Amino acid sequence: MINIGICDDNIIYLEYLQQLLKTQYIDCDNVTINTLEPTELSSLIMTGSCLYDIILTDIDMGIFNGIDFAKEINRINSSCIIIFISNYINYATEVYEASHIYFVLKSEVEKRLPKALDKAFSVLHSRHSKYYTFRFQNIDYKISLDDITHVEALGRYLYIHDNKNSYKCIKSLKTTLNELSDDFVRCHNSYVVNMNHIQSISRTDCVLTNKINIPISMTFSKSFQASYVKFVSKKLS
């Protein structure tokens, strides 16, 4: 099941967008679509309960700002895919302050939204794939997700580690995390770990099954701990 949240301070437009998704773009048997007023999304963010897979949000919403919402969602639910929808083209550069996949003008929503959703569903599909593929220096790589222990950002390069090898590529850690499965979580500005390979965790670090210590920063500690508890609970259920 894929959970989509739509946030706007214009109730009429909010209902229009929900209906647009339901009737034209989404197979409702596999997707839930919820409308959220800015106060509701703010409350979910404050309580760490924003668990949507995809969020479509306006930007200029009175005292609330969709870019600020997106920054916080990036922090507490890094796997959530953000699509910005706005009346104002001048926000097209400001949105890069937060991780997102698409910016859609409201005047072009019926034309552009299908492309944005196609991209979002493509990202979700890739997370459920059994392999991670990438290209570096004209060489294509295909690595089993089960084998990846952690991903490390070092300078302008990214290093994807398994128990035997390390693979180098040029990508951002945010982009790579969005392309991986839900078993991967960010614990530090420079690290993403595969929770299947965690042997133990403490307040400041986690030890992987290959005995490598990975630091847990204060910035990501809360979201990391919550993701790991959810992961373990799911495994035990």
pLDDT of residue 139: 86
Helix axes 38-46, 66-76, angle to 10 degrees: 30
Here the tokens at position 7 are 């946030």
Question: Which ranges of the chain have pLDDT less than 50?
Answer: none
CA dist 62 → 53, 58, 178, 196 (Å): 25, 11, 30, 43
Query: Over the stretch 49-69, which tens digit does the pLDDT of each residue have?
Result: 888 999 999 999 999 999 999
Query: Over the stretch 223-236, which tens digit does the pLDDT of each residue have?
Result: 999 999 988 887 77
List, in order of start, the domains of the chain with CATH numbers. Answer: 2-127 (3.40.50.2300), 131-236 (2.40.50.1020)
pTM: 0.61
pLDDT of residue 51: 86
- Amino acid at residue number 162: D
- Left (φ > 0), alpha (ψ -120 to 50) or beta: where does 155 sit? left
Residues 85/70, Cβ–Cβ less than 8 Å: no
CA atoms within 13 A on the CB side of 104: 24
Spatial CA neighbour of 143 closest among 124, 167, 116 = 167
pLDDT of residue 115: 92
pLDDT of residue 237: 62
pLDDT of residue 149: 95
